[in-house]
Amino acid sequence: MAVATAAEQAAPGSKHNIEGSRQAYYDKIAKFHMAPLWEVLKGLVTPEPKTKYKAAVWKFADVKRLILEAGGVISAEEAERRVLVLENPGMPGKSRVTNSLFAGVQLILPGEVAEVHRHSASAIRFMLEGEGAYTAVEGEKSQMRHGDFIITANWAPHDHGNPGNQPAMWLDVLDMPTVNHFEASFSEHFDEKMQKTNHEDGDSFERFASGVLPDGMPATANRTPVINYPYSKMRPILERLKNTGDIDKRHGARVRYANPINGGPVMPTMGAYIALFPKGFKGENYRSTDGMVFACAEGHGKTIVEGEDTIEWGVNDVFVIPPWKRYHHEPSEESVLFSISDRPAQEALGIWREGN
């Protein structure tokens, strides 16, 4: 029968009748703040990770030109932090580069200070361009140079300043979306503009990352005590790996930034790597459940992402690969890439996976 009569439509067991009564039932239970799982289950439990985030690149030439323009729009003091948020184009307006991480590029002009504060979100800096600026974290005043990786653990007081004569720009990555997912954000300001620093530049690296530890130190810290992992110390290690052929087919000659107390990740919510790709390297495909933020410290090349635009990167460009997207790197010359993700958080929760 092609067309159902009104009587048949209303008949018990007919499609129309079932849908109508189901909707009436849904409306009824909604008044009691309940909903049918069977209508939403397939979106909640997917067979594979799904993401609305996109692979994207921020070219340093654009970032630099536009953030220098912000120097004329607002002072560091007024802004508290003069940062351009790197917004994932798949999720504009969310202040996120991946679903769990915030990324931005910060500018401090000569003579400026970004006042001391602290918050439950953890931060890292990856220094891009400009010499003469410092960040002061937990009493250590650290000069920031190109390629330096700087830790600001949760609740660590931090202020930045630039007594030099060049604009200083760096990549900020924070776990704010992760902290805010748990609705657990706190922050506070201090009475003074700058914290008193009583540890000389490089103190925490020498004290904790030189094969010795302060006697009696407990070996349980869930965060690294090192404030700055300087590029000048990391780059020769990459060279050693290259020279002995310790080169991963996907990740190149890569080291993981470690907590020297226990070998764990630098922070519970974020983990980072730095990798050298020798000339002629053509990476094999890789994917993992952690969305990756990359920054290029040296060289240039491209990263091919399955089903998305190929990303072309050069020095100080920042790019993002969303979770579970297959990608591989094809540098055009010897290159160095920094990367950071939420992998430690996923591993702690037992949900991290990788594949090819």
Q: Which residues bind ligand GTQ (CB under 6 A)?
A: 81, 83, 104, 106, 119, 123, 158, 172, 174
CA separation for the pair 353, 131 (Å, rounded)? 39
For ligand GTQ, the closer of residues 148 and 298 by Cβ is: 148
Rounded least distance, CB 350 to ligand GTQ, Å: 29
CB of 117 to ligand GTQ, least distance (A): 6
Residue closer to ligand GTQ, measured from CB, 91 or 213 = 91
Q: Which residue is nearest to ligand GTQ (CB)?
A: 172
Residues near 194 by beta carbon (within 8 Å), at least 6 away in sequence: 113, 115, 116, 136, 159, 161
Task: In angstroms, give the least distance from the CB of 84 to ligand GTQ.
Answer: 9
CB of 83 to ligand GTQ, least distance (A): 4
Q: For residue 270, what are the CA distances in angstroms to 19, 81, 100?
A: 47, 21, 10
User: Two tokens at 225?
Assistant: 């005590």
Positive or negative, the Cα torsion across 256, 140, 207, 297?
positive
As a whole number of Å, the end-to-end CA separation of the chain is 52
Q: How far is the CB of 238 from ligand GTQ (least distance, A)?
A: 27
Handedness of CA 156, 100, 304, 67 (dihedral sign): negative
Q: In the complex, what is the shortest distance from the CB of residue 106 to ligand GTQ, in angstroms, rounded to a whole number?
A: 6
Tokens for 167, please give them: 């604009």
* Dihedral angle, C-alpha 217, 227, 82, 61, nearest 10 °: -150
Which residue type occupies 12?
Answer: P
Which C-beta is closer to ligand GTQ: that of 174 or that of 297? Answer: 174
Smaller CB separation from ligand GTQ, 123 or 127: 123
- The CA angle 105-285-271, to the nearest 5 degrees, is 40
Rounded Cα gap, residues 224 and 88, in angstroms = 29
Residue 298 or residue 317: which is nearer to ligand GTQ going by CB? Answer: 317
Nearer to ligand GTQ by Cβ, of 104 and 260: the residue is 104
- Between 175 and 290, CB nearer to ligand GTQ: 175
Count of C-beta atoms within a 10 Å radius of residue 213: 15
Q: Pick between residue 126 and residue 277 the one whose CB is nearest to ligand GTQ.
A: 126
H helix or E strand, kind and range, residue 354: strand 354-355
Q: What is the full DSSP assignment across 201-257?
A: TTHHHHHHSSS---TT--TT-SS-S-SEE-HHHHHHHHHHHHHHT--BTTTBEEEE-
Residue nearer to ligand GTQ on the CB measure, 174 or 276: 174
Pick between residue 99 and residue 289 the one whose CB is nearest to ligand GTQ. 99
Least gap, CB of 146 to ligand GTQ (angstroms): 18
Closest approach, Cβ 215 to ligand GTQ, in A, equals 33
Residue 266 CB, nearest distance to ligand GTQ (Å)? 17
CB of 75 to ligand GTQ, least distance (A): 15
3-class SS letters over 30-61 = HCCCCCCHHHCHHHHCCCCCCCCCCCEEECHH
